[in-house]
Chain A
């Protein structure tokens, strides 16, 4: 495998989980101490016991890695879905990623109330509404949500956006269910690099 594709594998397939390699993961030493001392105990090490299962799940991220949907929109969607599902592990990584891309803190903080602010473009709002409807699955995806998304994205992009929502929902479930510790997937990452 060429050097470039190794990088691609890391950046794309592992996308929602790879954020923990971001240097700003623990911003202050004192914070790191607090986090460590209160850390939830991991239930099962999924990378040890379920390596094959986890590898099939990484594949889901492929759809978004080659997408023409802007990465910022995907990152906003990842963060919003992780907020709804309550995945600490994913939230920490997704928000760090947004900040790394020089998104303002307010663009991150106000995601909880994106409908009430003009901080997000019409396109971003259409994507967020689509992602929320598909995450909640309460009575399907309303026609007006579909119409707004269709006005901003091509059919192919809408399928890719859907796969992005599916991917983050999948990672949220793994991390919440088994209380995955940040950095636990480093083993898989190292393995992927060697190939």
Chain B
């Protein structure tokens, strides 16, 4: 894939506010590893190569086991994820999808059993954050494959 535009170079100012969202999420009371699982799952659904490369590498660097990442596409069918992880993934997928039926009551109520109101907001913001990067990298064909774990850490501190 040839990069169409380097958006970070052409208009860094326009994108910069997104880093503040990332910095906010880094201080969330939701476990970072779970947030990263959400980042990876949403990037899979939205089909963002750069983001899949980045978040899978970050998760491995955090000590996550490969099997849990390889099976993430089919998490509903696997016993590899805890109840709270399943509730978070289900909620995240619904927030990512939205559409005419919104976020179903059953999904929302299930998530409420494991997360506080504040944490639910953070989970929604996590979906918004990663899907925003998905959109930028998909729009401009950011080249995937060269990410090094922690590479963008300075931007979101």
Contacts and interface: CB of A to CB of B under 8 A. Distances in A.
A10 interface: no
B125 A53 contact: yes
B108 interface: yes
A160 B122 contact: no
B12 to A, nearest CB: 9
Size bracket, chain B contacts: 35 or more
Interface in B119-152: 120-122, 124-125, 127-128, 131-132, 134-136, 138-140
Q: Which of B99, B102, B121 has the most CB of A within 10 A?
A: B121
Interface stretch (A16-24, A42-50, A103-111, A117-125): A42-50
Interface in A165-190: 165-166, 169-170, 172-174, 176-179
Interface of B: 4-5, 7, 10-11, 13-15, 17-18, 20-21, 23-24, 46-47, 94-96, 98-103, 108, 117-118, 120-122, 124-125, 127-128, 131-132, 134-136, 138-140
Interface of A: 43-44, 46, 49-50, 52-53, 56-57, 59-60, 62-63, 67, 84-87, 130, 134, 137, 139-141, 146, 155-156, 158-160, 162-163, 165-166, 169-170, 172-174, 176-179
Task: Return the 7 tightest CB-CB contacts between A and B, nearest first.
Answer: A59-B17, A50-B121, A63-B14, A159-B11, A86-B100, A166-B132, A170-B128
